[in-house]
Amino acid sequence: MFELRDVTFAYPGQAPVFERFSWRGERGEVWAVLGPSGCGKSTLLMLLAGLLHPQAGAIVIDDERIDRPRPRTGLILQEYGLLPWATVQENVRLGLRIRRFYGPDGRHVPRDERLDSAEAQARIDHWLARLGIADIAAKYPGQISGGQRQRAAIARTLVLDPDLVLMDEPFSALDAPTREGLQALTLALCEEAGVTVVLVTHNIEEAAFVGQKVLLLEKPPNQKTNTLENTHTAHVEYRLSTAYQKACSTLRIQIDER
C-alpha cells in the first residue's frame, strides 16, 4: 500500500530527521507511529501526505511515486483544520467542493470521480450521522467542543472516500472520555470503509490501543525501522484486557531503551 524507500529528509540547515529510512505498510493495516517529541513523527506523516518532499529516496503509494498530495489520501490534524467561517456541514462539504472546482483531473481529484450533487449530499449526510454531528451541522467551529470539531474533521476526510488516512495527534487535545470514545469510533469507521490508517501519537496507551502495528521512532536521525506487532481488534473491551496492559508495557520498555 505505502512504502518509504531509503528516504532521507532534513529541514533546511538542520541535521537529517530520516536517513536512508525504509518502511512499508499493507492495505487495511492500522499503524500507530510512536515516539518522543522531535523524533520526526509529524514529518513522517507530512512526507506520506506529499506535503513535504524527501531529499533522497522515494515515497510510493499504490505503485505511484508521491511528490504532491494524493487525492485518495486523507489527513487529519490535531486542531485548527476546519475553516472557522464555515459551518460544520460546509466544512464537511469542502473537499467535495474542491473536487468540483477542479473536476476529475487526476492531479487534485481522482480521475474516476463522478458525483452529482444529490449523491454528494447523501454522502455528507451519511458521515455527519455516523459521526454523531448531524444535529450541529449548522454550527460554526467556534461554537462546538473540541471533540465535535475533530468529528467534523474526520467526517470531512471520510466523505472523500479515501483509501489511506493519516492522522497527526488527532485526539490529544481532547479529554480522556471523549478521546477514548472517538478512538474506537474512528477505528470502527476506518475498518468499515476498508481504509489504511497511519496515526501519529506521543501517547503510549493510544499507540497500544489503536495500532495493530506500531512504528517506533527515536531521536533523529532515524535509520532503522523498529516495528511491533500488536494484533487485536480495537474494541472497548480490549482496553481492559491483559494483552493491552502487556502491549503498553512492551512499548514503554522499547521507548525507554532508546
CB atoms within 10 A of CB 189: 17
Q: Which residues bind another protein (CB under 8 A)?
A: 46, 49, 51, 69, 71, 73-86, 94-95, 97-99, 101-102, 107-109, 140-143, 153, 156-157, 160, 166
CA distance 33 to 23: 11
Find the DSSP H helices in 193-257: 204-210, 242-257
Nearer to another protein, 94 or 134 (CB): 94
| Positive or negative torsion for Cα 73, 74, 80, 82 | positive
Least separation in angstroms between residue 124's CB and another protein is 14
CB atoms within 10 A of CB 86: 16
Nearer to another protein, 75 or 214 (CB): 75
Nearer to another protein, 139 or 239 (CB): 139
Pairing of strands 56-61, 64-65: antiparallel
CA distance 78 to 168: 6
Least separation in angstroms between residue 82's CB and another protein is 8
Cell of 254: 522499547
Nearer to another protein, 200 or 204 (CB): 200
Least separation in angstroms between residue 133's CB and another protein is 17
Least separation in angstroms between residue 188's CB and another protein is 22
Nearer to another protein, 48 or 214 (CB): 48
Q: Which residues of 60-83 are buried (b: 16+ CB within 10 A; e: fewer)?
A: ebeeeebeeebbbbbbbbbbebbe
Least separation in angstroms between residue 14's CB and another protein is 18
In degrees rounded to 5, what are phi and psi of residue 117?
A: -70, -25
Nearer to another protein, 72 or 126 (CB): 72
Cα diameter, the chain: 54
Least separation in angstroms between residue 149's CB and another protein is 10
